[in-house]
Amino acid sequence: MIANTLSACIATEKVEESRDFYVKHFNAKVTFDCGWYVNLQFGKDTSELQFIAPQEPGPPACNPAGLMYNFCVDDVDAEHGRLTAAGLTPIMPLEDHPWGDRGFAVLDPNGVTLYIYSDREPAAEFKQYYKE
């Protein structure tokens, strides 16, 4: 299979709150919103998230423990400054990682961890794990 896009859809009671959070803090573009379902686009056509109110039949509200969305950005330091100035509290500090990025994490309204990072040159011990 060759997927044209890949996106995550979270079943949540917080559809409106989630939409507003991502629009405000991550410049998401709302491409569909019928109240109980919203589609958000981030920068490129293939970067999307959806939120859906629990439906019958359908999945129950999500328990996002352990779920993480990764946002690769050009300037992680600027994003850290912007998001903390807007009142978000990092749950992981901004730091360099030897596997090849610099990043930090915050939580969304559903408890999903949002890891925001910029690529960096990996340390020698991690270079062997990169596949061409």
Is the domain of 58 the same as that of 80? no
- 132 inside domain: no
- Position 87 scores a pLDDT of 96
Is the domain of 41 the same as that of 27? yes
- Position 111 scores a pLDDT of 93
Is the domain of 52 the same as that of 67? no
Residue identified by tokens 């915050």 is 106
Is the domain of 78 the same as that of 106? yes
| Least confident span in 2-11, 34-43, 79-88, 100-109 | 2-11
Q: Is pLDDT at 93 greater than 90 in this prediction? A: yes
Sequence-distant (6+) residues with CB within 8 A of 1 are none
d(CA 22, CA 26): 5
Question: What is the model's pTM?
Answer: 0.89
